[in-house]
Structure 1
Amino acid sequence: MKLREEDWLALGVFLLCFYGYHTIYFYLSRRFPNRTRKGRLRQAIQSSFEDILQRQDPLLVVHQARNALMAVNFLAGASVILLGALMSFTGVVESIQDITVNIKATFKRTDLAVLLIIATLGISFFSFLNSLRHYNLLTFLVSARPEKLREIEETEPAQFLTELFMRGSDAYTLGRRAFLYSAVAGIWLLNVWAFVAITVFVTLWVAFYDR
């Protein structure tokens, strides 16, 4: 089955809902923190880091970061396993090779849907890797001397650690959301209009949670 207008419409809706929404959400969280849940939590987290630095008790942060690292490792592993399975057993790689050899070869709806799932899972996997990087840095730097952090980063230690934590949190959020949206993209294989409706519904639900 060749691609039709509704397929391109469905792809546009998905890109707008997933990529467009999260680009705006992370921007608002940083520039206008009082408008989003994550932005408001950022202020509370900074006060928590200030207390931890005053008490000189970094072990609490290290233990919490390890819990987050375990969750991120599990989800990253699940993402890469699904990626490998999709690329091995769906035949989409062969379809792409056929098109590169013969430009008249047809690109089916199922191929586009599977490619969308693979791309979204890829974003999920690399977001989790980015999250791991920031959380690992946090476990090391939270025990550094505050005056050294202030000298190197030219900012307050609590603010720097908060920024590091929030970057890891943002990457983790994007990874989880991409994992969720990859499942939503799978509905495209069943019905294009159900895919559009569920994509919009999930985005509205996520937006309600994030406000």
Structure 2
Amino acid sequence: MNVQFMYGVTLLDIVALSWFLLAWVGYTSWADRFSQTRPSLMTVMYDYRLEWMKQALHREVRVADAALLSTLIRSISLFASTAIFLLGGVVAIFGSLEQIQDLTKDLTYVAKASKVMWELKLLTLGTIFIYAFFKFAWALRQFNYMLIVMGAFPSPEFAKTKEAQQIAERAARVNALAVQTFNRGMRTYYFGMAALSWFLNPWIFIAVTLFVVLVIYRREFKSKTLRTLDPNSDYENVFKF
């Protein structure tokens, strides 16, 4: 595993990065398929979103609904802005890379790496946060589209018509798509934290990546929150140990 290629790139680093990408892409693909047959936070929450939109049809004044959406939009905007700041930090590190290498070269728990390897790690981290920004920005646009759909809701006296029910379902679906995009942006943050461990040691990077996958899986498919929200689960026993 200590085989070294050009510019100080090691076989272990290549294996660690490949494992990271495989874990991220593989988990995302697997989770999307698995949630079609098993309850997950995304699938369970869709029923609540649909009920929310159907109830909104019966309200003459939908100020509360707009306030709820504004809260969601503000939280996504915060993450989008944070992604920009993190990206700026990564770019700033490029300008002082030699000083950082000098500071870390005597630390026993930090693997020795060439300048090219440091640049590769920083480029990987920067790409991760660029991807996160695009996801959060797209989620914001989708929520804006949902607001427009809600603005097209008919008057409450027409709430039970087929057309009204269809437009409520469309609003719920756009809501679900926006949250799915936001969820993938949040996953990017989780994996971004794993990528930081690559600066310490490739073996730690491999282990932390696996840990992140397990954490995300537990929260999406095995969490107490899911058991509480799932109508088919025994939520009364969630807090019994």
TM-score by length of 1: 0.81
Deviation digits for residues 25-44 of structure 1 (CA, Å, limit 9, x no counterpart)? 23444xx1643221121122
Partner of 2:128: 120
Q: 1:90 to 1:203 in 2, by over 3 A?
A: same
C-alpha change, 1:145 and 1:41, in structure 2 (3 Å) is closer
Structure 2 residue aligned with 1:6: 12
Select the residue among 140, 143, 154 that pairs with 2:151. Answer: 143
Deviation at 1:203, TM superposition (A): 0.6
Change (3 A) 1:33 1:172: farther
1:22 pairs with 2:28 = yes
2:165, 2:95 → 1: CA distance? 51
1:97 is matched with none
Unaligned runs of 5+ in 1: 93-105
The answer to whether the 8 Å contact 1:46/1:158 transfers is yes
Kindly state the Cα deviation for residue 56 of structure 1 after the two structures are TM-superposed.
Answer: 4.3
Query: 1:170-194 deviations in whole A, cap 9, x for unaligned?
Result: 1111112212221220110111111
1:61–1:139 Cα contact (<8 Å) kept: no
8 Å Cα contact 1:188-1:195 kept in structure 2: yes
Match of 2:65 among 58, 61, 67: 61
Letter in 1 for 2:177: R
Aligned to 1:111: 119
- Alpha-carbon shift at residue 57 of structure 1 (Å): 4.5
Contact 1:117/1:186 (8 A) holds in 2:
yes
Question: More displaced, 18-27 or 166-175?
Answer: 18-27
Structure 1 residue 39 and structure 2 residue 43: aligned?
yes
1:186-208 deviations in Å (ceiling 9; x for gaps): 11011111111011011111101
Cα gap change, 1:155/1:15 in structure 2, threshold over 3 Å: closer, same or farther? farther
- Whole-angstrom distance in 1 between the partners of 2:176 and 2:63: 19
Structure number, greater radius of gyration: 2
Query: How far apart in 2 are the matches of 1:145 and 1:134?
Result: 17
1:163 and 2:167 matched: no
- The alignment partner of 2:58 has SS state of helix
Aligned AA for 1:205? V
User: Which structure features the higher share of helix residues?
Assistant: 1
Match of 1:129 among 137, 156, 162: 137
C-alpha distance 33-55 of structure 1, shift in aligned 2 (>3 A): farther
Deviation at 1:168, TM superposition (A): 1.1
Rounded to whole Å, the distance in 2 between the matches of 1:89 and 1:157 is 49
Q: Would you say how many aligned residue pairs link Structure 1 and Structure 2?
A: 193
Q: Would you say the 8 A contact 2:149–2:167 is kept in 1?
A: no
What corresponds to 2:186 in structure 1? 176
Q: Which amino acid aligns with 1:197?
A: A
Cα distance in 2 between the residues matched to 1:132 and 1:123: 14
Give 2:88's match in structure 1, choosing from 63, 76, 84.
84
Whether the aligned pair in 1 keeps the contact of 2:76 and 2:182 (CA below 8 Å) is: yes
Mark the CA change 1:155 to 1:123 in structure 2 (over 3 Å): closer, same or farther: farther
Q: Which amino acid aligns with 1:206?
A: I
**Partners of 2:21 and 2:61 in 1: CA distance:** 44
Identity of paired residues, percent? Answer: 21
Distance 1:196 1:134, change over 3 A: same
Of the three residues 30, 37, 55, the one matched with 1:51 is: 55
